[in-house]
A and B are shown apart, each in its own frame.
Chain A
């Protein structure tokens, strides 16, 4: 297991580790991201974590691909099906900004 620092919360000797926020190349705000399959491989071989959530924006596709990959290869990792949402106010701002920039 990695050398890690305990920051906050409850800890146990036999605890597992979960990465709950990682974007794949399918996320619209990621330019040079890794494919969901490659992320799973890194999670297992390098990060050595027990559960992974792929948090692509507004889509569950990356999570599904990752889960299928892990199942096919029988990798020792739980892939959490997950969806990430844009905040509505932010979407309004983006809409307004796009209108302004179109006028310019």
Chain B
């Protein structure tokens, strides 16, 4: 990296020649993420030392990027730890210690270089320090930023890209609701730029089989969030989808800490993800139609619930349809259908619209309204609490 230069320097020169031209402009030369081997333009130890040990008086380092927050998100290889050890070993030849974020999506200020008075003088005299930002503090600041860039204008709306497959709820209903569906592809080819650094760290810990569905559901939730709040897609890396960990469980309902007052739900099945965001309790579920045990239908649906369904559906389709409806409602309650004490009683209204009563340990908890859709091999359901039903919303297939 060439700091304080006045004119462009021709690319594709050798490292030594580039550094020499930087210094001829009285600029400063810094090696970015020098030992991050997964980045193709990292110099590596040999590349760094070839400049550091040059006998040419114009070829030397002014600074060394010890902590790179982008590299820190990668759990393998420990590039920052290696860089610090390498710096301690060669610090007389590597210039000032530098910390940086390496942001590609606006998440700046996570790792910074501290100095007093004048930055170039501080770098030349190695009088710098590396500071790391506390993630919770950043989240708090982020909420302020989002309010600045996207004033509170919760609205039902249309996501910028994607095919609009159906408009729902033409009746008079009030609250904003965003729903998005994302068809995932090969995760190796995915553009990960919508993930925050925290999410990128988590993504790297997933198994290969988990990655596509995880990505699709996260993107779907962020698209739905953008739909409701007006957050543009280029700011998606600034929000993180987290989980409220429930007692006795390793997971829990999703939420976006930048906007804790909204309600969130996500689901994925194989490579397709679905997300729902609303100002009121909401639940979504998506399931692929696959062969299931014949006894499952009797387990999840009462004879009355089975009888209200039309003919023409095979048993596997019927199971999936009812399952997604009940699962979406159960997710919306944030209790979860795995709880034995939760009972969801479906009553078909017309077409694909259902009313539902939820009972918890025999006591009536809430009334819900749910919609189910059949798209390709999948059933998708959206549920919302009946007291404040949404005014109008569209579901989008990305």
Contacts and interface: CB of A to CB of B under 8 A. Distances in A.
A17 B112 contact: yes
Contacts, number: 214
A7 to B, nearest CB: 4
A19 B107 CA distance: 11
Q: How large is the interface on B (under 10, 10 to 19, 20 to 34, 35 or more residues)?
A: 35 or more
Contacts of B234: 25, 32-34
B368 interface: no
The winner among B8, B101, B108, B144 for most chain A CB atoms within 10 A is: B108
Interface string A82-96: 111111101101100
A82 B5 contact: yes
B237 to A, nearest CB: 7
Nearest to A52: B108
Contacts of B194: 32
B115 interface: yes
B339 interface: no
A75 interface: no
A86 B11 contact: yes
A85 B112 contact: no
A8 B1 contact: no
Contacts of B41: 85-87, 90
A32 B236 contact: yes
Determine the main DSSP class of A at the interface with B: mixed
Interface of B: 1-9, 11-15, 18, 30, 32, 40-43, 47, 63, 65-68, 70, 84, 96-106, 108-109, 111-117, 119, 127-134, 136-138, 141-142, 144-145, 148, 191, 193-194, 233-237
Interface in A44-64: 45-49, 51-53, 55, 58-60
Interface string A34-50: 10001100110111110
A70 interface: no
B97 to A, nearest CB: 4
B8 A32 contact: no
Contacts of B145: 42, 45-46
Contacts of B7: 60
Contacts of B32: 21, 55, 84
Nearest to A14: B116
Contacts of A59: 8
A18 B1 contact: no
A14 B129 CA distance: 13
A82 B109 contact: no
A32 B193 contact: yes
A52 B112 CA distance: 10
Interface residues of A, number: 59
B74 to A, nearest CB: 15
Contacts of A53: 1, 3
Nearest to B67: A7
Nearest to B80: A7
Interface of A: 2-12, 14-23, 25, 27, 29-34, 38-39, 42-43, 45-49, 51-53, 55, 58-60, 78, 80-88, 90-91, 93-94
A48 B32 CA distance: 23
Contacts of B235: 34
A14 B116 CA distance: 7
B38 to A, nearest CB: 12
Given A5-B131, A8-B129, A19 B108 contact: yes
Nearest to A78: B119
What 7 A-B pairs have minimum CB-CB distances, sorted nearest first? A47-B109, A9-B129, A21-B100, A90-B40, A87-B41, A3-B134, A4-B131
A45 to B, nearest CB: 6
A47 B7 CA distance: 28
A18 B9 contact: no
Given A81-B4, A86-B11, A15 B104 contact: no
Contact of B109 (A7, A49, A80, A85): A49
A30 B67 contact: no
A34 B4 CA distance: 22
The winner among B96, B104, B193, B235 for most chain A CB atoms within 10 A is: B104
25 contacts: A4-B134, A8-B130, A10-B128, A11-B129, A16-B119, A17-B113, A19-B108, A20-B30, A20-B63, A22-B100, A23-B102, A23-B103, A32-B105, A32-B236, A45-B144, A47-B141, A48-B109, A55-B102, A60-B8, A80-B119, A81-B3, A82-B1, A83-B5, A85-B18, A88-B12
